[in-house]
Structure 1
Amino acid sequence: MAKAAPVHPKRVLLLVGAHKTASTHLQRAIAAQKDVLRELGIGVLEPNDVRRFLAPLSYLLRDYGWRRELTHLAVASAGAVCGFAPETLVVMDENILGATEPRMLWSDDGRFYPWGPGRTARTAELFPRSEISVGLALRDLGTFLPSAYGEAIRNGALRTWEGWLGGIDPTGLRWSPTAKALSDAVAPAPLTVWRFEDYPQIAPVVLDRLLGENAAARIPLPPEPQRVGLSADAIGAVRRHLEAGGDPGDRGALERAMRQHPRGPDAPGFRPFNSATLEWLTEAYRQDVDAIAALPRTTVLAP
């Protein structure tokens, strides 16, 4: 007897980040309530699930186009990981957009995640019978870029702030081209956007909007940040290591810097911008969010 085809989810929600926007906090809150969400027909794929199962299939789709076979495998993999055939599938991984390495984070024309829209669209294509929606969080560049820099050296080679920027003018970077390209890539799927700065107040609204009414009542939020960034003193220790000719691949140097200079109330994060630049970036961010709110099929959530 032939094996029955896997049941496609009716809806697929792609939570694609961005990095350093409390994405881990939101992901862990949702993942912690998998059993509760299962009662509602909602299945959850955490970042490691996405990286082990869906990402390789999306790469094969890009390179070989085996659409029928790969969509079958994607749906079957999602059902196997969830342990049931979900009516709604939540796919959570900011690495769908890219990474905090410069070549993945921005393009020469000032657009964030230049490959992100295509990567998101291919992930959506793995579920051709499902209604797709996408969730995206943004952050003021004055704090996003230093935080992304810290994340980059935690996950890759050590480098200075200037070395990480690689000569790019951070004041020329914008979110709105990325949001437009993402919306166009997944059309006609709706795009829901929120600001990191609003997240502490708006998290219940985000949950209800994306997962359905009263979802927030079923998903208590952890009280603390889930991935604390590096302190300015730790960044300074990394710089001294590199300027002294230290190996950029020495992970021990970073671990020692983090251990000796932990982030805390008296040890603030890295702040490379002066007050005038911060004000300029904040105003540019406000205009950028207004431009995103005017995009078709796009909703910007507010407190």
Structure 2
Amino acid sequence: MQLLFHTGAHFTEEERLMRSLLKNKDSFGAHGVAVPGPGKYRKLLRQTMEAMDFSEPAAQARDVLLDAILDSATADRVILSDSDFFGPVRGALRREVIYPNAPKRMAQMAEIFQADEIELFMAVKNPATFLPAAYQRSDAEDLSEFTGGIDPRTVRWSDMVLRIREAVPHVSITLWCSEDSPLIWPEIIREMGRIDPAEDIVGGYDLLGEIMAPEGMTRFRAFLDKHPTMTEIQRRRAMVAFLDKFALDEAIEEVLDMPGWTDALVDEMTKAYDDDVFAITRMPGVQVISP
């Protein structure tokens, strides 16, 4: 069985993706892909991993979990999604790395599901916007406590990816930049379901609709109807063209409110993030979805 775990750096994007996946639940099911509701497994998986901090999993743990998750149904591929899979956001930055528990969590899942083919799908995000969002959701009394006093320019997603690769080298990893999500949403959904690019999906433009004016979305959909044979690259170019004219600035711009941060610092962090993503694209066993 193929078992896909999805988590993300954008705390609300994960829930949007879950909704998009559930919209395609029936069509995915016809291909042997199960999209169980998160209420069936999130608490159960967290409890299982917490118990594994103290003892080995029972021999029948895999079968028990899958029975609960699938509710006696059968599937060749199962998609599980949880923004807190690597731990709560308040602990997103510890010991100078992003999600320090990520390698351990993946190793635990690999131990339970050792007979299955495991994949990890995850969005990364510019630390210049990720850290402020995580800080706002943390219980840290001040910025220094949250960051541990480290230079934010040194925060790298590639460090986390390398540690996961070392812990579970047999697990394939698919990443994308949260900033690109509106343009690649259909491909993310298809990749997760292993659905043919030519097959229709539901909700492929949900994220685009959140950052584009209604008039723009109406015209964009009309444009797609008139050009049904466009390639994925052509569709993305069309998205960019319509966004240039109809984008909602308030939906795209993110307000950064971090004590002591300057525009120059944010620019440096953004440049480092771009370089970091490029480094990730060169890692073996890692696929990066990009526009």
User: Which category of TM-score, normalised to the shorter sequence, fits these structures?
Assistant: 0.7 to 0.9
After TM superposition, list the pairs within 5 Å mapping 1:89-100 onto structure 2. Answer: 89-100=78-89
Q: CA deviation at 1:47?
A: 4.0
* CA-CA distance at 1:181 after TM superposition: 1.0
- After TM superposition, list the pairs within 5 Å mapping 1:134-149 onto structure 2: 134-149=120-135
Which residue, out of 266, 284, 287, partners 1:299?
Answer: 287
* CA deviation string 1:72-129 (max 9, x = no partner): 211211221xx5122110010121111221xx21233x21111111112212333222
**Where does 1:225-244 land on structure 2 (aligned, <5 Å)?**
none
Give the match for residue 23 of structure 2: 32
The Cα of 1:268 is off from its aligned counterpart by: 6.2
Between the aligned partners of 2:254 and 2:285, the Cα distance in structure 1 is 39
Aligned residues between the structures: 248
Q: Which of residues 181, 188, 199 in structure 2 aligns to 1:206?
A: 188
Q: CA deviation at 1:184?
A: 2.4
TM-score, structure 2 as length reference:
0.76
Q: Report the RMSD for the aligned CA atoms in angstroms.
A: 2.7
Question: SS of the residue aligned with 2:176?
Answer: strand
Q: Choose which of 284, 289, 294 in structure 1 pairs with 2:272.
A: 284
The AA in structure 2 aligned to 1:105 is A
Query: Does 2:200 align with 1:217?
Result: yes
Q: CA deviation at 1:18?
A: 2.6
- In the TM superposition, what is the alpha-carbon distance from 1:63 to its structure 2 partner? 2.2
| Cα deviation, residue 141, structure 1 | 1.0
Residue 106, structure 1, aligned to residue 93, structure 2? yes
In 1: Cα distance, 2:18 partner to 2:145 partner:
31
> Mean Cα displacement is larger for which, 288-297 or 42-51?
42-51
Which sections of structure 1, spanning at least 5 residues, go unmatched? Answer: 1-9, 226-263
Change (3 A) 1:55 1:45: farther
CA distance in 2, matches of 1:163, 1:181: 24
| Corresponding residue of 2:153 | 171
8 A Cα contact 1:293 1:300, kept in partner: yes
Unpaired runs of 5+ residues, structure 2, are 212-249
Give the TM-score of the pair, scaled to structure 1. Answer: 0.73
Identify the residue that residue 162 of structure 2 maps to in structure 1: 180
The separation in 1 between residues aligned to 2:64 and 2:142, in whole angstroms, is: 42
The one-letter code sitting in structure 1 at the alignment partner of 2:203 is P
Shift of 1:284: 0.6
Q: 1:23 aligns with which of 1, 14, 17?
A: 14
Kindly indicate whether residue 35 of structure 2 is the aligned counterpart of residue 53 of structure 1.
Answer: no
Question: CA offset at residue 197 of structure 1?
Answer: 1.1
